[in-house]
Every structure is written in structure tokens, then in C-alpha cells.
A and B are shown apart, each in its own frame.
Chain A
Amino acid sequence: MFGYAGKMLEVDLSTQNIKMRKLEPDFAKDYIGGIGFNARILYDEIPAGADPLGPENILVFSVGCLVGTPFPTASRMEVSAKSPLSNGFGSSNSGAFLGLRLKGAGYDGLIIKGQAQKPVYLLIEEDKVQIKEASFVWGRDAWESIDLLKARHYGAEVLLIGQAGENQVRFASIENGYYDGFGRTGMGAVMGSKKLKAVVIRGSKPIVPADPKGVLELSAKGQNLIKSASSYQAFCSYGTMNATIPYGGFNALSVHNYSRGTLPDWKQRAGRQIVDIYGSRHIACQSCIIACGHLAEITEGKYAGTLVKDMEITPTVSYSSNVGLSTEASIKSSELCQRYGIDMSSSGSVIAFAMELYQKGIINKDDVGYELAFGDDDAAFALLKDISLRQGIGDILAEGVKRAAEHWPGADDYAMHVKGVEIPMIDPRGRWSTWTLGILTNIRGGDHLRCRNPVEILRYNENLYYYQKERFGFKKPMYDRLDMPDDLKSAAIDLENDTVDIAVMSKWAEDLINLYNSVGICIRPPVMETIGPTILAELYTCMTGIPMNPDELMAGSERTWNLMKLFNLRHGEVADDSKFPRRFYRELQSGNIVDEDKVQAVLEQYWQVRGWNPGTGHPLPETEKRLGI
């Protein structure tokens, strides 16, 4: 089979049974790769009511089908399982070199079933797969464990959990090497429940495209397109840190558990200039031509000696604004989260939640053991440790804000989550747009990362005015270049009045991002602005030899999205789960609240655009039939 590795590896940790699953060409074409494969496998094989932390849950890692080409940013892989936070479809994406290595070992995906009796790790050396005893790394943090595993298995790629995953903290992450990870929806807790400490991968099999020359030409074309994006230079220099100032500018920051929208010293504390101060070398994922990551180093003061990759918006907003820490402490938080193996977004939200409860007198020093206050880094890191090791109050907070709030009367008002998954970063009271609807419609809940308007997000640092109004303000050349069918483009975007139909645009944007997560490319703005289904379909055809057109590709992505929705419905999601935390509807923030009726109206429009029942959000039979589910 061209382009794909051609098989998936299935490991049952209960029975120690190791099997190969052949990849059927029809399955490959219908579900593309990455999140598409995960969705089909999870939908078919996890029974309703399965305990996310029990042996019935299945953890699937799938590599995007374009990984293994020089096409820019083709490096990503997706992990999915039933989420211990949302009880629905949990999923998280990561890049670096792991996807290429798994494909190089000969597998498009890795399916983990069952539960081991004792801690184990999985060693994959191409066709030789072994389940090995892991007591020498169990209990150790992720970085130490990587060093120990790499000492045994030279040159291997390692994905693993830290202590948080071992202790089944519901928002534990799976780490991908030292600096990358699958953060959201608690995939690390699922891996921990299976007593699987790590997967160590070696392999160097070639990936053979059907039309190598075509792949090379399209990769060159992809490089040129991305380089021509208006946000390209900014993202090469500062990565995601470009967005910190605009977030603060339009009052959409999650400050102190969403009690405020911005901080007076936000620009000094977290503007992109901090990359110039602490950052040094750029770090790329496989085949990336943006290299948005920076090595950040602190050379003096309390946190001297800290060396991390993440000079990124996630730890910055989570710890610098939500928990209120200093710039250096937020850089340190990256290291701690990666060592414990815990989601930077959720852990920051949980700590901020606890701090606000403390402030409001709902919990006190007797509950915690020490004082909690926004901005206190010692307290924040002590709490992070308690959560990761499930000590004291950390044992309750390790359940996530939704479940932890049940312990204290009145705490529910401060639990900022959607579908049980903590919301990082964006406050819809600051700005109501495609992004913010995306928090509600996101299958995995709790964030905006599966729905972004591909052209709206590009005016970072340009003119804040556009962010303060319900206007979008993109330029005509951008509109002209956007790879979107003409009829849809004119329905979604009103260039003259400078507005977007949020419902129509959200569906398109979700399908596009879901397509990226299927083929394995990155959602950085320079990519979103320039790479659409047309070039991806051409590349897919060159890579696999399977004829594919842009409409089929988008339909494949939509099929996956519907399957994930059906998964959620089967596992108990109801229409009311698509609601923001009450705070957004009730509490004024810089003069704004979210208008519940307006949100509901747009949500219902969106359901209609998706071909779902506008009252319940359930995919209609004709939609399922159209997509061949």
C-alpha cells in the first residue's frame, strides 16, 4: 500500500496478546488517517457506559497519512480514548518526531486495550514487539524516565506518562519526548489506568509514495504557499506568543479563574518580547518550516537553570494570567507540567479554581495545608505537586474542576469547564466569534482548538479595533486566496459588511481542522491561511495512489466529526452539555456578558448547518446516510 504503512498494531495488555490489523484501502480512503482512524475504532469498539479508567477503554494513537513527506508541518499524530474528564470522545494531538517514527516502525497506528497487572512499557522495534517490565521507571518523572529508557534503547522515540498519569489524575497528559505532549482530555490517565508507563519506538522502514515526484513538487508548492502567508514571518519569530497581547487587548484572557479579562501589566509580563529575553534557538517538528518553538532559559534568580522548549501561549496564559504568576514562574511551570506529565491548560485552571475558592472562603488553610493566593508561585507549585501525586486536597482537585466542585457547596459557580474539560485562555465575554462558539461545539469540550476561522485570526498585533467589535476585518487578497468553494465562501463571509456567518464558518473551520488532524499537519495560522483541501487532495493522491478530490476529503473529515458526535451521544452527552459555565452568562466582565439566547440561537443554526436536529443536536438520519456512517 502506497503512502500508508499498511497496518496497525493492536496490543491487549490484559492477555499480553499482540496482533496486526491490516489497513484496508476502503477504510483508509473513508477515514483518511489520524483522528479519522481513531474515531472509527473508538466508535466501533468501546461499549456504552465503559469506565474511562477501566479495561474496556481503548487508547488509540494514529499517525496522519501525510506524515513521512517533506510537506511542511506533516508530523502530527492523534491519540484518542474515552475521556476521564468528559466521559465522551477524548482526543489530543502532538507533533515532533513520534509520528514519523511509528510509521517508520511499520505502523499507521497503535491500539492499546485491556489493563496490565503490573507496570509495563511497550518496546516496538519494527516487527518485534515486546511488553516489558517497567518498575525501574514507575514513580519517576517523565524526563528522568526518558533518560533511563533511552539509555536502554539507543536512538528510540519515547512517549510516556509522568507521575500524574500513573496516579490517574483525570487531566494527566501523555508526553512526547522531553518537550512535546498530548495534553488535553486526560489521555495520560487512561494510559496510567492501563499501567502502561511508556511506548518506546525504533524503526527506519521507508514510506513509499505512489508518485514521489508529485510529492516533492507539492511539498515545494506547500512551502511557497505557507511562506507567502501574512502571518508567516511573525510566527517564525515569535510562534504562538504573537497572540498574547491581542488576547489581553480585547479582554478575552482568563485572568484569575475568569474573574477578570486582562491584567494591567500583561504586555510587560507576557508580550511576545519575552521570547527575545528568554528565548534562544528555534525548535521545529518534523518537516516544519515555521519552527514556532523556542528554547527558553532562565540564567539567574530563583529559577536559574530552567531550560524548556515552551515559550508558548499555553503555559503563559494558563500560569501567567489564570494563576497570575510572574513570567519566570510561568516558564518554570512548563518544566514542572512536563515532568509530572500533566496538562498545562487544565492544571492551571484547576489551581486557579482552588485559589478562587480560597479567596472566597469556600476552602481554607485547614483544607489545603498552606495559604493560596493568585500570583503566589510557591503555593501554586506546591498544589501542582499535591495534585500530581494525589496528596491531601490534591486528591480531590485531581478529579478536575467539575467533579472537585461537588465537594464544597457553592464551588460549582467557579468551576470553569465545558463538558467537564477545563477551559483555558479564551473568554467569550471578551470576544464572540467562531472561536468562542468553537468552545461549545468542540467534541472534546473545553477549548477553541478544533474550530478557528482560517482567515479571521491573522491580524495579531495589527489593529486591536477589530477585536473589540463583532467584526472580522480580513483583507480581500486573503479572502480571494482562501481555498473554500465559492458558494460557501459567499455564504460564510460578507466582505462588504465585514462580517462572518458564525454557524456556517464554524462548520467549515471544524471540518478543515479535523482534516488537518487526519492528514497530520499543523493548525498554526500560516498553514490555515494557505493550505486547503485542494492541495491536500492532490498530495493525498500522489502519496497513496488512491484518487481523491477536495470534496471527498472534506466529506471524510465531516464523517469523522459526526462519528465523534455519535460517540458522545452514545456515552451520555445531552444538548445541555453545550453550555458555557454560568459565570459567562451572569457576571459582567469589562461591561460584557454572554447573551445566553443569542448563543443558543447561533448554536441551533450551527446544528442545522451540520445536518443535525436543531433542538437536540443529534445527527439526522439523512446526514448519517449522506456520509455513509
Chain B
Amino acid sequence: MDTRGIFIDYHKCVGCGTCEMVCSLVHENACAPALSRIRIVRYRREALNVPVTCAFCEKPPCLDVCPVGAITKNYETGDVSIRAELCIGCRQCTQACPFGHMNFNAAQGTAFKCDLCGGDPQCVKFCWTGAIEYLDNEIAVDIKRSSFADSVMQQHDK
């Protein structure tokens, strides 16, 4: 079973939006943040940037609310995917997603979401700050745990 996931370090993001440009280019052959799967919410005055993308939930609320079964979870790969040809454009999933990740393409009348670029996420490849990483769960948690431990260590040194 694939236990990798996208992990975002909000403190590293500088808000350049390269991920949005790359994502829309890869999936839609066009450059437009509005067509990107990953989106950055920018607090401009405070210069804080929050990239938002799919968490690939184990119990996806988007899947639960979809009235036509267009959203499925593959427990083998971890992927949560949407079949555009089944989507009726009701936008229930856009409301159900707690992160506001589920996006809606008004021109096509269907919802769309991150598909991890089939296992090689391009946003991660182009993110030069290390804010977006595609890691094994265990490693990601380990990094977090270690950074917490580092702060304890620094306190100890003082």
C-alpha cells in the first residue's frame, strides 16, 4: 500500500504561485491559477501564504456527499479521484471538503481535484522552497516530530 502523501510546510511558502501555474499547465494546457488543483491563499499585508490541496482523506467527505458516486477512493494507492464523465456539477463536494480543495470548472460544469499527477506531482517538482513535499507518512511525521524535538533541545541548551 502506498502511504505517501502531500505535506505542506506553511512557513516555507513564499507565495510565488509556481505550483498553481505548473498544475494548470499540466492538467489544462493553460496557465490560470483558477484552473489549478493546488491553490494558495495569500495574506498579503502579513505576507503569509497558505497552499491548499487535497488531503486524500481516509474517510473523504467529498465521496460521502457525492450523489452519483463519481468520487472514489482507491485504498491500494491512497488516491481519491473524480470521474468527470459521471459528475453532474451539483457542487456538493466543494461544500463538503473541509479545506475548500474541491474546485469547480465553470466552463465544463464539473468538479476537479488533485490527482497527484499519477504519482509524480509536478507542483512538488517545481516547488523550490520545500514547502510542498510528497513523502511517506512515516517520514513526514518523523520530520515534524524531530523539528519539535529540536526546539526542546534548543531550550535545553539555554
Contacts and interface: CB of A to CB of B under 8 A. Distances in A.
B47 interface: yes
Residue of A207, A208, A284 most packed against chain B (CB within 10 A):
A284
A100 B17 CA distance: 11
Interface string A249-267: 0000000000000000000
A284 B26 CA distance: 22
Given A104-B32, A208-B29, A216-B25, A284 B126 contact: no
Interface in A279-307: 281-289, 291, 295, 307
12 contacts: A68-B31, A97-B17, A204-B34, A206-B30, A207-B31, A208-B29, A209-B31, A281-B11, A284-B16, A287-B21, A288-B14, A291-B16
Interface stretch (A219-227, A423-431, A460-468, A508-516): A219-227
B48 A281 contact: yes
A69 B17 CA distance: 10
Contacts of B18: 70, 72, 287, 289
A206 B126 contact: no
Contacts, number: 93
A179 B22 CA distance: 26
A206 B35 CA distance: 8
Contact of B33 (A204, A209, A212): A204
A204 B19 CA distance: 16
A210 to B, nearest CB: 10
A178 B28 CA distance: 32
Given A70-B21, A70-B22, A70-B126, A206 B28 contact: yes
Given A204-B34, A207-B31, A209-B30, A70 B44 contact: no
B15 interface: yes
Contacts of B30: 206-209, 212
A205 interface: yes
A287 B33 CA distance: 11
Contacts of B44: 177-179
Given A208-B30, A216-B26, A289-B128, 10 more contacts: A68-B32, A208-B29, A209-B30, A215-B31, A220-B125, A281-B48, A287-B21, A291-B16, A291-B129, A295-B47
Contacts of A206: 24, 28, 30-32, 34-35
Contacts of A291: 14, 16, 129
A339 interface: no
Interface residues of A, number: 36
Contacts of B129: 291
B54 to A, nearest CB: 20
Contact of A227 (B31, B47, B128): B128
Contacts of A287: 16-18, 21
Contacts of B33: 100, 104, 204
A175 to B, nearest CB: 12
A309 interface: yes
Contacts of A179: 44
Contacts of A285: 16
Find the residue from A70, A206, A307 having the highest chain B CB count within 10 A: A70
Contact of A286 (B16, B24, B29): B16
Interface of A: 68-70, 72, 97, 100, 104, 177-179, 204-209, 212, 215-216, 219-220, 223, 227, 281-289, 291, 295, 307, 309
A408 B15 CA distance: 49
Contacts of B26: 212, 216
Nearest to B127: A289
Contacts of A227: 128
A295 B32 CA distance: 27
B45 interface: yes
Contacts of A219: 22, 126
A291 B16 CA distance: 8
A307 B44 CA distance: 12
Contacts of B28: 206
A432 to B, nearest CB: 37
Contacts of A209: 25, 29-31
B32 A207 contact: yes
B131 to A, nearest CB: 11
A287 B46 CA distance: 19
Contacts of A177: 44
Contacts of B128: 223, 227, 289
B12 to A, nearest CB: 9
Interface in B53-82: none
Contacts of A205: 32
Contacts of B45: 178, 307
Nearest to B28: A206
A216 B44 CA distance: 27
* Most chain B CB inside 10 Å of its own CB: which residue of A72, A206, A207: A206
Nearest to A294: B47
A289 B15 CA distance: 10
Contacts of B32: 68, 104, 204-207
A69 B32 CA distance: 9
Nearest to B33: A204
B97 to A, nearest CB: 19
Contact of A283 (B15, B17, B21, B126): B15
A178 B47 CA distance: 10
Contacts of B16: 284-289, 291
B47 A283 contact: yes
Given A69-B21, A206-B30, A212-B30, A282 B14 contact: yes
Contacts of A309: 47
A234 B47 CA distance: 21
A284 B17 CA distance: 9
Contact of A212 (B17, B29, B35): B29
Given A178-B44, A207-B31, A209-B31, A284 B15 contact: yes
A226 to B, nearest CB: 9
Given A208-B29, A295-B47, A309-B47, A220 B17 contact: no
Given A104-B32, A205-B32, A212-B30, A281 B47 contact: yes
A287 B128 CA distance: 11
6 tightest A-B CB contacts, nearest first: A206-B30, A204-B34, A284-B16, A206-B32, A70-B21, A284-B14
A286 B128 CA distance: 13
A207 B30 CA distance: 6
A118 to B, nearest CB: 29
A204 B104 CA distance: 13
B157 to A, nearest CB: 20
Nearest to B123: A70
Contacts of B21: 68-70, 287
A284 B131 CA distance: 13
A207 B36 CA distance: 13
Contacts of B34: 104, 204, 206
